[in-house]
Copies of this chain bind each other. A is one copy, B any other.
Amino acid sequence: MDQGAAIQMLLNRVAITDLIHAYCFHFDRNEPAAVAALFSADAVVDYGPEVPDLIGAQAISAAIASGLTKTFAATSHHVSNVTITFDTPDQAHSICYLYAWHRYHNGAPDGELWGQYHHRFAREPDGWRISSLVLKAAGSQDFHRATMHPIGRR
């Protein structure tokens, strides 16, 4: 890789990581339109087997808005272990870890989730977007969903 390509790849890593962070930030502030704006127009979000796939920014925004209004009184999505792989200079996928804390409107005990986001990203004319997101769980406690995609532990 020449120097220019290496620098561009490093800048792309920053942009993609910031995109993951922006998802958490806007989700936790209950800004569903700002969350949806991070996704490609035809993006697919899979939050688990209990929920139909969300397809497209409109569906993503509506589903997130509903959860943020009806289910959650407060949330905090802490992502780490962000590991990015470039498939082409304009397409990438990543795995990151998620430790998410949830406070519920219904007064149930706070829910905790220890899991992973598996993302795909595409670079569009005005910047990187999330093209797909799959949520997987290593485990949870007092979480509002009983069944999640597993992380694939043997």
Which A residues lie at the B interface, using CB under 8 A?
Answer: 3-4, 6-7, 10-11, 13-14, 18, 20-22, 24-25, 28-31, 74-83, 95, 97, 99, 101, 103, 110, 114-115, 138-139, 141, 151-154
Contact = CB atoms under 8 A, between A and B. Distances in A.
Given A31-B154, A81-B78, A154-B31, A95 B3 contact: no
Nearest to A18: B83
A141 B110 contact: yes
B81 A24 contact: yes
B110 A29 contact: no
A6 B13 contact: no
A35 to B, nearest CB: 12
A3 B11 CA distance: 11
Given A97-B24, A115-B76, A7 B18 contact: no
Contact of A78 (B29, B31, B75, B80): B80
